[in-house]
Chain A
Amino acid sequence: MTKVWLGLFSGIAFGYVIQRIGATDAHRMARSHLMLDSDIPRFMVLATALSALGLFGLQAVGIGRTLVLPTSLVATGLAAVIFGIGWGIAGYCPGTTWAAAGEGRMDAVFALIGGLAGTLLFAHFHEVLIPLLYDPTNVGQITLTDLFGSYAIAVGVLAIGFGFCAWGIGKVWGERMRVVEFRQGHGESSSSPSE
């Protein structure tokens, strides 16, 4: 039961934070994909870099559980392409659909239903698809530690690399970025134009 409360608490905190950065807003996500707004991609890579450092600290004192997913060259790559198309169309990823649906965005509710349909389809054909697409090019649970030989060095490389990405995204996106502005009332419904 403790697990459920921990999960619920973690989810509430997570959903709250991603709403506050605007990740649950498909409009802002589309602008991020169009390189007009750099905050969300920068937020994602910086949060990941900091998490990697935090997890390194946890591991140093022997706390926490890790589970590295294997890399399948074909399945992981193909899955990422399918995912990227869906993300570009909807502007939602699996986690943000829950938070955005909770927020009251109807298009996210439909993304959630679509997600259940996609899950249903994959789960139905799991026994066919995994041996066909995943297993043949599965290179195992490889990590950067395998590449660099030391966990400490690998964490440093990732944190610096992602930190550089956060800076670089700001540079590349930044030229065309404009500060987001809102008009009160606008967007609440299409029947209240402010012109």
Chain B
Amino acid sequence: MAEQDQTTPPYWRWIPTSFALAGIIVFIFATFGPPASSSGFVSVLKGFFQAAAPEYIADKTHYQAIPGPGSWLMAFVLGMAIGGFIAGRTSKRIPVRDMPPIWEKRFGPSRIKRYAATFLGGFLILLGSRLAGGCTLGLFISGSTQLAVSGLYFGVIIFGVAMLTARLIFGKMERTETMDDIE
């Protein structure tokens, strides 16, 4: 446990980063409108069906309500992937890994198990997001920025339930878990 590493975490500090993200969000409000990312999933599927099965989405409200490829929403999620790629490639210290150490410690090194779990997790977050009309960004952050009660209500519950779920999954590891003791 190198002492100098302890004092210099690889991440940006949270206060300046909050200003950076708020700047981006205000820019988005000024140039587009409320930022959203779960709608990008609908745009992707809409693009797929427009090419593969246009008759299927012709009378589907959900696909009619969200613009397809070529929209800001779709460009935004693709941009997120590009931004993540650039950030990942230019950071020497933030590790990119396929499996969180905390997961490996709790469930073992099976990649299939982890990928099945994230598939299920991804399924649930989008099912919830599409029902509510937005996600962490599109409903909690965008909504609260606009003082929407829906965003505050959604935000309180997602944090509470995620904390409870993490506690149920990882159990007692909670007290001992650190970044460095996975070896």
Residue numbers of A with Cβ under 8 A of B are 3-22, 24-28, 30-31, 33-36, 39-44, 46-48, 50-52, 54-55, 57-58, 63-72, 75-95, 97-108, 110-124, 126-127, 129-130, 133-134, 141-145, 147, 151, 154-155, 158, 162, 176, 178-184, 186-190, 193-195
Known: A51-B141, A86-B128. A182 touches B17 (CB 8 A): no
Q: Which residues of B contact A110 (CB under 8 A)?
A: 115-116, 118-119, 122
Known: A84-B160, A92-B125. A33 touches B166 (CB 8 A): yes
Known contacts A11-B83, A68-B150, A181-B179; 8 further A-B pairs (Cβ under 8 A): A80-B156, A88-B168, A92-B118, A98-B40, A105-B98, A123-B130, A127-B61, A182-B10
Q: How far is the CB of A1 from chain B (nearest CB, A)?
A: 9
Q: Which residues of A contact B26 (CB under 8 A)?
A: 51, 54-55, 57-58
B83 touches A21 (CB 8 A): no
B82 touches A11 (CB 8 A): yes
B54 at the interface (CB under 8 A from A): no
A66 touches B33 (CB 8 A): yes
**Mind listing 29 A-B residue pairs with CB under 8 Å?**
A11-B78, A15-B84, A20-B12, A25-B94, A30-B166, A33-B162, A36-B178, A47-B22, A55-B146, A58-B30, A66-B29, A67-B34, A67-B146, A79-B131, A86-B120, A89-B165, A94-B129, A94-B135, A95-B136, A98-B77, A107-B99, A118-B125, A119-B45, A121-B127, A122-B130, A122-B131, A155-B147, A182-B9, A190-B109
A1 to B150, CA, bound (A): 32
A31 to B28, CA, bound (A): 30
A76 touches B132 (CB 8 A): yes
A83 touches B124 (CB 8 A): yes
**Interface of chain B, main secondary structure:** helix
Residue numbers of B with Cβ under 8 A of A are 1-2, 5-7, 9-12, 14-15, 17-35, 37-38, 40-42, 44-45, 60-63, 70-88, 91, 93-104, 109, 111, 114-141, 143-154, 156-170, 173-175, 177-180, 182-183
Of B5, B85, B145, B146, which is within 8 A of A182 by CB?
B5
A103 touches B84 (CB 8 A): yes
Q: How far is the CB of B87 from chain A (nearest CB, A)?
A: 4
B183 touches A14 (CB 8 A): no
Of A81, A86, A93, A179, which is within 8 A of B123 by CB?
A86
A177 to B109, CA, bound (A): 26
B14 touches A16 (CB 8 A): no
Of A8, A20, A87, which is within 8 A of B76 by CB?
A8
A181 to B174, CA, bound (A): 17
Known: A69-B139, A94-B126. A7 touches B76 (CB 8 A): yes
Question: What are the nearest 3 A-B pairs in CB distance?
Answer: A11-B79, A15-B83, A90-B121
